[in-house]
C-alpha cells in the first residue's frame, strides 16, 4: 500500500502504528495538536528532526516516512498479500483498513427539552469509509461518536430516531448543528454565533423558543459536545 503524501504517512503512523489520538500523539512528540493537524493535512512541512524523532519512537523506517518507498517498519520485510477473510454481500473481498469503526453510544440527543446523558458506554461500532472521514470530513476518527436523536424540535432537519455522527473535537460553535450538554442532558440544536460572542441556540420547530448563551462566560451547566457532521435515517 502506498501513501504518496507525507501527511498521509504521518497519519498512518499515528493511527495504525501508534494507535493514538491526535492529542496523545502530539504530546508524545512534544508539539501542538494544531501543528500535527497541519502536517497531516499537508499544509505544513515538518522539520527533519521531527521526522527522525517520529521514526525512532515508533520503529518506523525513516526512508519510508520520507518517501513512501520500502517497508513501513524498520527491519520488516516487504508486506505480502494476505487472503482476506471479510466478504461483502456479493462475496467480494473487503479490505478492513479502508474503514474506521466509530463507537455507537446508547445515548439520545434530544431534539426537544433534553435527554439524560448518563451511562456513556459504547454498545457497538459503525463502519465508515476512512477516505471519506479523512478527506471530506477532515476529521480524526478517534474524535468521532455516533448517537441517536429523540424528539421533534429539529423536525425536518433531524427527525426522531435519526442517527448522528458527532465530531467531538469541533466545539468552536461557529455556526451549524451541535450536540450540547445542558443541565446534564444532551440536546441537538442549531447554533449561530452573533457579534460579541453570543451564541443563539434555536430549533427547527417554531414551537421551541430560542435562547442565548454568552460564549465568553457560559453557565456551569452548559458545554458543547461536538458538531453534527452526518446523519442517517430509516425511511420505512
pLDDT for the residue 174: 82
Span 138-166, pLDDT tens digits: 999 999 999 999 989 899 999 999 999 99
Q: Provide the pLDDT for residue 230.
A: 96
The answer to whether residues 207 and 155 touch, using CB atoms and an 8 Å cutoff, is: no
Domain 97-232 has CATH 2.10.109.10: yes
- Chain-centroid distance, C-alpha 172: 14
**Largest Cα–Cα distance in the chain?**
65
What's the pLDDT score for residue 66? 85
Tell me which residues of the chain have a pLDDT lower than 50: 1-4, 112-118
What CATH number should be reported for the domain whose range is 6-67?
A: 1.10.260.40
Q: Beta strand 144-150 with 185-193: parallel, antiparallel or unpaired?
A: unpaired
- Cα 24 to Cα 31, 49, 94, 100, 204: the distances in Å are 10, 19, 30, 19, 38
What is the structure's pLDDT at 81?
Answer: 56
For the chain, domain boundaries: 6-67, 97-232
- Total-model pTM: 0.62
Amino acid at each position: 500500500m502506498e501513501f504518496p503524501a507525507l501527511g498521509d504517512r504521518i497519519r498512518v503512523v499515528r493511527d495504525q502504528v501508534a494507535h493514538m489520538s491526535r492529542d496523545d500523539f502530539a504530546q508524545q512528540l512534544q508539539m501542538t495538536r494544531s501543528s500535527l493537524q497541519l502536517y497531516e493535512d499537508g499544509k505544513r512541512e515538518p522539520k527533519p528532526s521531527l521526522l527522525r524523532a517520529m521514526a525512532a519512537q515508533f520503529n518506523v523506517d525513516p526512508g519510508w516516512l520520507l518517501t513512501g518507498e520500502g517497508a513501513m517498519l524498520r527491519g520488516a520485510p516487504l508486506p505480502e498479500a494476505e487472503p482476506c477473510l471479510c466478504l461483502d454481500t456479493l462475496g467480494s473481498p473487503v479490505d478492513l483498513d479502508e474503514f474506521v469503526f466509530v463507537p455507537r453510544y446508547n445515548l439520545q440527543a434530544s431534539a426537544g427539552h433534553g435527554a439524560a446523558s448518563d451511562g456513556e458506554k459504547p454498545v457497538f461500532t459503525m463502519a465508515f469509509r476512512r477516505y471519506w472521514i479523512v478527506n471530506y470530513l477532515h476529521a480524526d476518527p478517534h474524535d468521532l461518536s455516533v448517537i441517536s436523536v429523540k424528539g421533534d424540535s429539529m423536525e425536518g432537519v433531524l427527525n426522531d430516531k435519526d442517527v448522528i455522527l458527532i465530531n467531538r473535537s469541533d466545539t468552536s460553535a461557529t455556526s451549524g448543528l451541535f450536540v450540547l450538554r445542558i443541565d446534564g442532558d444532551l440536546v441537538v440544536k442549531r447554533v449561530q454565533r452573533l457579534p460579541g460572542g453570543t451564541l443563539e441556540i434555536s430549533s427547527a420547530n417554531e414551537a421551541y423558543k430560542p435562547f442565548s448563551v454568552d460564549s465568553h462566560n457560559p453557565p456551569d451547566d452548559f458545554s458543547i459536545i461536538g458538531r453534527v457532521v452526518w446523519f442517517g435515517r430509516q425511511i420505512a
